[in-house]
Amino acid sequence: MNSTKILIPSAASILQSMRDIGYTLDTAVADIIDNSIAAAATKIDLIFSITPSPRFLIIDNGQGMDSDELYQALRFATKSPIEIREEKDLGRFGLGLKTASFSQARKLTVVSCKEGKMSAAQWDLDYVVQSDQWLLKIIDPSELSIDSMYLDQIAVHGTIVIWDDIDRIEFSENHTQAQNYLGYLLTKLREHLGLVFHKFIEGTAKTEKIKICLNHHEIEAFNPFCLSNQFTQLIGTEKILVDDSEVLLQAYTLPHYSKMNSAEYELFKKRSDLLNGQGAYVYRNDRLMVWGDWFRLIPKTENSKYARVEINFDKQIDHQWTIDIKKSKASPPYAVLEALRRIIGKITTASVRMSTKRVSKSLTTNQSPWNRFSGEEISYKLNTNFPLYQNFFNTLSSDQRIHFQSLVEIIQSSLPMQSIYSDMAVNPKQIAMFDQVDRQKTKQKFLRFAEFMQEENMTKDKLKDAAVTCGLFSQYTNDLDQWVEEYYA
Ligand SMILES: Nc1ncnc2c1ncn2[C@@H]1O[C@H](COP(=O)(O)OP(=O)(O)O)[C@@H](O)[C@H]1O
Ligand SMILES: [Mg+2]
């Protein structure tokens, strides 16, 4: 080597390229919240307003920073990925605050207060581009154009991140359209954060319980395993060591949709349907990074749609997971994939059982009105041995029998399978198999049904089983015992 030459990268170019790492509004805000959680915040307020011009505020009651810490925080790549960090620190590359902010806005201002002393600084993209130098603007907090009520919130300790000149989201000039679009963005953001930080919001994370409000409305946690429902089943647990760090895998099957209450069902339907949401949910120090992915081990099918695997790992093994800057991608190390493969075997069997339970229950008894035939081909046919069918058939004249048989053939051959399948996949709870009737009328129908079902050796239990397989009586299973007794009385 003869000599060296310092080659300083162009500040303008780096800053502009950094804008396109691939953040969305949702992932960018999540990255800023990570910092608040790392700073031990318990309350985080997000304010997105579009008048007079779009502005996003993230206000936390964390420990805050003094002026030196603030300038360090605003330095790009301020901490190295190999630096050892505190247990609760969700940071990784020393970039998030800056890259996430610039992915959405041209101006990033941070105001922070520690031990009652407030400081503020600002990265202005246009100013950096103009001078092509890393020139950070130092701002006197009293000159900030921000509602004093927000500054009061951090008067003792806390931090406010402000995004101005939000040019990556286009709002219409038309006020109503702009408001509608804002509403849409906020709903999406609310869902994203409610999922990604659900453990912090629920209070099941290792840190203190955290409250996040978006435009003054508290964000509710969305637990992807529906753990509040007693019918969620823990199917198996695996613990493995990766580089001396423990990775915990827990496999669940969600409750069958009929066991979810309407609020739970609505939530699961809204948050990408059941089918799409199946897969592994990967948490790094309680923060959800990747979800709804089987990492190519199995395809997402209707049969495994109730299966979910929770995977928890520690940031000490970040390098094993190849985490990207946005913290929205991670691929499992080989040992974890192997453990996932083992646990998938157990849960898919359980999930299949869940999806087919109702079908097989009704179709394996002899008293079912429908038969399922399987072999090389699968077909569904009316059960012509069903007593109700037989007894009715016997009342018909030979001409009527021919008409009746062709009617039955037409009905069973035109069963709208495709349409039923897609409705079951998307909206199972909305499918109504029969008109709503009251108890008294249903009871009358049951007595007529029992009459028709009359055959030799029909025991009370058999009659009840037969009634249970008919959708018509499924809502009245509690009354069936009594009705059967009355019929036999
Ligand atoms: N809300 C905040 N409260 C206190 N400190 C913060 C806050 N946001 C950022 N910091 C400080 O700024 C540093 C840089 O943040 P960031 O660019 O997101 O990188 P990383 O989170 O990977 O360290 C953090 O490590 C932290 O020390
Ligand atoms: Mg960060």
CA distance 136 to 11: 12
Q: If you measure from the C-alpha of residue 97 to the centroid of ligand 1, how many angstroms do you get, rounded to a whole number?
A: 6
Q: Which of 27, 29, 32, 35 to mutate to test the pocket of ligand 1 (most atoms within 8 A of CB)?
A: 35
Q: What spacing in Å lies between the alpha carbon of 302 and ligand 2's midpoint? A: 38
Give me 436's structure tokens: 């709503």
Q: Which long-range contacts (CB under 8 A, 24 or more apart) does 5-13 make?
A: 10/132, 11/128, 11/131, 11/132, 11/133, 11/134, 12/128, 12/129, 12/132
Among protein residues, the one with the nearest Cα to ligand 1's atom 27 is 73
Q: How many CA atoms lie within 13 A of 270 on its CB side?
A: 14
Cα angle 399, 401, 404; round to 5:
115
| 428-450 pLDDT tens trace | 777 777 776 788 888 888 888 88
pLDDT of 364 reads 44
**How deeply is 155 buried, as exposed, middle or buried, from its count of CB atoms within 10 A (0-12, 13-18, 19+)?**
exposed
CA–CA separation, 288 and 474 (whole Å): 40
> pLDDT tier at 39 (50, 70, 90 boundaries)?
very high
Q: Which residue, 453, 438, 442, is CA-closest to 480?
A: 442
pLDDT at 397 over 70: yes
Q: Is residue 412 over pLDDT 90? A: no
Highest-pLDDT range among 276-280, 315-319, 379-383? 276-280
Do the Cβ atoms of 306 and 254 come closer than 8 Å? Answer: yes
pLDDT at 101: 97
Least confident of 272-276, 349-353, 421-425: 349-353
Q: How far is the CA of 91 from the centre of ligand 1 (A)?
A: 7
Question: Which residues, in sequence order, are CB contacts of 89 under 8 Å at separation 6+?
Answer: 38, 315
Which pLDDT score is estimated for 102?
96
Residue 60: count other Cβ atoms within 10 Å of its Cβ: 29
Cβ 19 vs Cβ 105: under 8 Å: no
In percent, the amount of the chain with pLDDT more than 90 equals 51
Chain-centre distance for alpha carbon 40: 25
Residue 176 has pLDDT above 90, yes or no: yes
Closest ligand relative to 154 C-alpha: 1
- Render 397-424 in DSSP notation, one character per residue: -HHHHHHHHHHHHHHHHT--HHHHHHHH
At 281, list the tokens: 């949910």
**CB distance 125 to 187 below 8 Å:** no
Four-CA torsion 347, 348, 353, 358, nearest 10 degrees = 120
Angle at 433 between CA 429 and CA 437, to 5 degrees: 105
pLDDT at 52 over 60: yes
> In the structure encoding, which two tokens stand for residue 71, read together?
């300038």
Please tell me the pTM assigned to this model: 0.77
State the CB neighbour count (10 A cutoff) for residue 58.
24
pLDDT value of position 375: 57
Section 92-106 average pLDDT: 91
215-251 tens-digit pLDDT? 999 999 999 999 989 999 998 899 999 988 899 999 9
Element (DSSP H or E) covering residue 306 = none
User: Percent of the chain at pLDDT above 70?
Assistant: 93
- Residue with CA at minimum distance from ligand 1 atom 12: 73
Nearest to 486 by CA among 436, 454, 444: 444
Mutate to test the pocket of ligand 1, among 76, 97, 101 (most ligand atoms within 8 A of CB): 97
User: What Cα–Cα distance (Å) separates residue 476 from each residue in 197, 438, 470?
Assistant: 41, 10, 11
- In three-state secondary structure terms, 208 is coil
Higher pLDDT, 487 or 328: 487
* Ligand 1: centre distance to CA 35 (Å): 5
Rounded to an integer, the average pLDDT of 360-387 is 66
Query: In this structure, which residue's CA is closest to atom 21 in ligand 1?
Result: 91
In terms of Cα–Cα distance, which of 110, 176, 166, 179 is closest to 141? 110
Alpha-helical segments (H) within 326-438: 334-364, 387-394, 398-413, 417-426
State the Cα–Cα distance between residues 188 and 29, nearest whole angstrom: 12
For residue 449, the Cα-to-chain-centroid distance in whole angstroms is: 44
Q: Indicate whether 422 pLDDT > 80.
A: no
pLDDT on residue 423: 80
The token duo for 174 is 């038309």
Decide which of 457 and 419 is more confident. Answer: 419
Q: Is the dihedral of CA 314, 319, 325, 331 positive or negative?
A: negative
CA atoms within 13 A of residue 461's CA, in its CB half-sphere:
1
Domain 11-217 has CATH 3.30.565.10: yes
Note the pLDDT tens digit of each residue in 80-98: 676 777 776 777 778 899 9
Is 212 in a helix, a strand, or coil?
strand
Mean pLDDT estimate for the chain: 87
**Cα(422)–Cα(483) distance, rounded to whole angstroms?**
36
Q: Which amino acid is at 142?
A: S
**In 10 A of CB 424, how many CB atoms?**
13
Give the integer Cα–Cα distance in Å for 409 and 313.
Answer: 57
53 to 173, 213, 217, 279: CA distances (angstroms): 11, 21, 21, 41
* Residue range 312-355, pLDDT digits in tens: 998 888 888 888 777 777 889 999 999 999 999 887 677 667 66
pLDDT of 356 over the 80 cut: no
Which residue's CA lies nearest to atom 7 of ligand 1? 35
* Distance between Cα 94 and ligand 1 center (Å): 7
Q: Could you identify the atom of ligand 1 that is nearest to the CA of residue 96?
A: 18
Whether the per-residue pLDDT at 79 is higher than 80: the answer is no
pLDDT category at 359 given cuts 50, 70, 90 is very low
Please compute the mean of the pLDDT values over residues 463-487 and round it to a whole number. Answer: 83
* Long-range CB contacts for residues 348-351, cutoff 8 Å, separation at least 24: 348/298, 348/303, 348/304, 348/307, 350/233, 350/235, 350/253, 350/306, 350/307, 351/253, 351/278, 351/303, 351/304, 351/305, 351/306, 351/307
Tokens (6 digits) for 332: 């499992």
CA gap 44, 401 in Å, rounded? 73
Of 301 and 187, the structure prediction assigns the larger pLDDT to 187
Tell me the three state secondary structure of residue 376: coil
CATH number of 233-360: 3.30.230
DSSP state of 298: S
pLDDT of 362 over the 50 cut: no
Element (H, E) at 427: none
Lowest mean pLDDT, pick from 102-116, 201-215, 253-267, 350-364: 350-364
pLDDT at site 272: 66
Q: Where are the domains of the chain?
A: 11-217, 233-360, 370-395+432-488
Pocket of ligand 1 (CB under 6 A): 35-36, 39, 60, 62, 65, 73, 78-79, 91-98, 159
